[in-house]
Amino acid sequence: MTIERIKENVIKELNQDNEFRKYLILSITDEIKAIAEQVYNKMEKSGAKDYDKRH
């Protein structure tokens, strides 16, 4: 299966299943938050002066 075909199938599934879409979005959001938190912690530990403390 080509990447384009897989992408089409995933989009088709997402359009049919709102619960799955919600789950996927929440999972991606959680991953992004975790990565952002790691970056923030590394910046803070390294003594970076310009990091933003807003969440």
Mean pLDDT by 10 residues, the chain (55 residues): 79 77 83 90 79 57
13 neighbors 20 (Cβ within 8 angstroms) = yes
Amino acid letter, residue 2: T
pLDDT at 38: 92
Placement of tokens 């979005």 in the chain: 25
Report angle CA 2, 20, 34 to the nearest 5 degrees. 90
Global pTM value: 0.48
> Rounded to whole angstroms, how far apart are CA atoms 53 and 51?
6
> What pLDDT sits at residue 51?
58
Residues 52, 53, 54, 55, CA torsion sign: positive
pLDDT of residue 19: 80
